[in-house]
Chains A and B, each alone.
Chain A
Amino acid sequence: MTRLSKRSFVQLAGWGSLAALAMLSGCSKEEKTTTTTTPAGTTSTTTTTTTVAAPAAPASGALKIAFAYVGPVGDGGWTFAHDNARKAIEKEFGAKIQTSYVENVPEAADAERVFRDMASQGNKLIFGTTFGYMEPMLKVAGDTPDVKFEHATGYKQAPNMRTYDSRTYEGAYMAGVIAGGMTKTNTLGVVGSVPIPEVVRNINSFTMGAQSVNPNVKTKVVWVNKWFDPPNETAAAQSLINGGADVLMQNTDSSAVLQTAGKAGKYAFGWDSDMTAYAPNAHLASAVINWVPYYKKATQDALDGKWQGGGHTWWGVKEGAIDIVSISEKVPADVKTKVETVKSGLKDGSFVIWKGPITSNDGKEMLAAGASADDKFLGGINFFVKGVEGQVPGGEKK
């Protein structure tokens, strides 16, 4: 009997010390958020807890804007690009706005709570920067009609909620032009994340870009079925290199593919953000997303009272949302010129990437000669173009 009670006491002590430990780490985290002035230095400790960055100087009467991020701002890719745009509008509009963000918001029920919190704290414009926030945002938007919601990469709208995205495939095409000019083995490799139309579209555009300078190019694709898994991304990149690919591209979220290419003496690209620093010798260029133009416009709309819900904005090179940057000096001048031509063509609308004739890799004509693909076509691509090896997993239903 005595032993039992002693035992439960000790057990209690163990759990208690664990709890104390957890609280301790929680406290220091909280402290960090309130004392730091640069929000970039803050983060949360696990994927389920989130941290709200305290605004530097609350201004009365300013438009309050909140951002929900799926990853940490230090991911060097997707979320990093969004946060850079947030800082840019803060600089641009000064005291007229006041921004805050919550990072590591999971794409689950927790997101709804975060959006409700943001709305109740007086934010009048709320950005959700990943596809998985679609339903939670829609729900909260229905309950708070006076708050404006902006959702990235989704397709559902409401009177006070609209969607926006960027044409990443334009960056992929320009990277392809460089890849086509650089490959010696005529074999390119792509590490694919998840086989959804957006990613398949990027792989196709990358291949079409390469074929525009080098018709003999073929592309090998390896899927890791995740957005983020550095060890597997590395393994996938290695297997592509083993299979003869000498220029790699990826649609995953880390710089692992680029670094693997660097280790093996091959070439690769940066994706979403400029990744030159990770592997200067292997890095050919970075296809980047710039959210600043859209965030500026959305903020201006809201300030002017011109903001309208219910639309979808899909911006690319033309609007300054997509660019290819930090092109390596290893890339020959004629290839660089070609990239510039494509870029200016995309800018003034004289060049269209998805223009027929386009055939799939099993010989079917998908787009007739002379026809340009509309956004609906682009949104549902589930086939590989000629030159890409293999099949889209789960595709081929048409």
Chain B
Amino acid sequence: MDQFALLLAATLNSGTVLAFAALGLLINERAGVVNLGAEGIMLVAAIAGFATAVHTGSDWLAFGAGAVAGAVLAAAFGILVIWLNTNQYATGLALSLFGAGFSAFVGIRYTQEKLGEQHTFHIPVLGDLPFVGPALFRQHPLVYVAIALTVAIAWFLYRSRAGLVLRAVGESPESAHALGYPVRRIRLAALVVGGALCGIAGVYVSVVYTHLWVEGMTAGKGWIALALTTFATWRPARVLLGAYLFGGVTMLQLQLQGEGVQISSQFLTMLPYLATILVLVLISRNAAFIRVNMPASIGKPFFPG
């Protein structure tokens, strides 16, 4: 039972990284822009946040710095693809390569650096409950923020006027433009918010999750987040579900290995990907549903006038 509680706790923890990044990318893609630079943004934010944490000792400033770094990179990407109409995919790839190299370069002197003792979190009363306490209520605050954010984004997209405009920009930028909405600026805003969320995900990896900086440390999490948004058919709740599913199966397969199960570890390493794809494909197997949810103008540039 205790084992299971710990497994749940670890699942929430590792799923949070993917949740932030994938929710950020979801906002981008709902506005019609695909940002393949997520991995690079996460890495730059990870080092920006780590360096801030080293110098100031504050985790919250670290998250602020990471979010700003992510937003700035995303804005640069936005100016290139929205105003200069460079190819979204090529520019995104360039950004991810640039981010990987740049973060490694800036981060040289931080590889040996260490952060102070980490705070442990414990919600009073709830955290003392048997089973659910250790499983759910002793997490880093951002774990709960991720859940709240999912609800907020879902509300924003489907219940608010601004969300409707954002979706309109992703569905049919021409119509939105004809109605007088500034399509380009809305796309840029979506990118900036998405970049900031990817940045927070990056800082979560370096400052909270592993507590260290080494070059290339996100090890592909940005790419997984990109795939996740697509497999989750651009629905916030499914993105969160997918993130936890991926985190959960990752932890589960490691735990199984530790128990000495007779399944080859190479197969087990593959499981998280397999399980996530399978579940998300199954719940979205309705082709019409995908067509309804997929932003019609995703990846397409828009030229006003």
Contacts and interface: CB of A to CB of B under 8 A. Distances in A.
Interface of A: 3, 7, 10-11, 13-15, 17-18, 21-22, 25, 29, 41, 43-47, 49, 72, 74-76, 189, 195, 220-226, 228-236, 238-240, 242-243, 245, 254-256, 259-260, 263, 277-279, 389-391, 393-394
Given A220-B258, A231-B221, A394 B266 contact: yes
Interface residues of B, number: 55
Contact of A11 (B7, B85, B97, B259): B85
B255 A25 contact: no
A48 to B, nearest CB: 9
Contacts of B218: 231
A72 B258 CA distance: 31
A49 B100 CA distance: 12
Contacts of B254: 222, 235-236, 238-240
Contact of A25 (B87, B102, B215, B258): B102
Given A47-B216, A259-B212, A238 B251 contact: yes
Given A222-B257, A230-B212, A390-B262, A14 B80 contact: yes
B80 A72 contact: no
Contacts of B259: 220, 243, 389
B104 A231 contact: no
Contacts of A236: 254
Which 9 pairs from chain A and chain B are nearest by CB?
A45-B101, A14-B86, A389-B260, A390-B260, A14-B84, A239-B254, A46-B101, A223-B265, A242-B6
A239 B255 contact: yes
A256 B212 contact: yes
Nearest to A7: B85
Contact of B219 (A232, A277, A279): A232
B209 A13 contact: no
A14 B94 CA distance: 12
Given A22-B98, A41-B108, A240 B205 contact: no
23 contacts: A10-B83, A13-B84, A14-B85, A18-B86, A22-B94, A22-B98, A29-B105, A41-B108, A46-B97, A74-B108, A76-B111, A195-B265, A220-B259, A223-B265, A225-B265, A225-B266, A231-B218, A232-B219, A242-B10, A256-B211, A277-B112, A393-B265, A394-B266
B251 A235 contact: yes
A221 B205 CA distance: 24
Interface string B76-111: 000011011111000100100110111011001101
A165 B214 CA distance: 25
A228 B211 CA distance: 15
Scoring B219, B258, B261 by chain A CB atoms within 10 A of each residue's CB, the highest score goes to B258
A221 B258 contact: yes
B266 A221 contact: no
A36 B249 CA distance: 47
B266 A393 contact: yes
Contacts of A15: 86
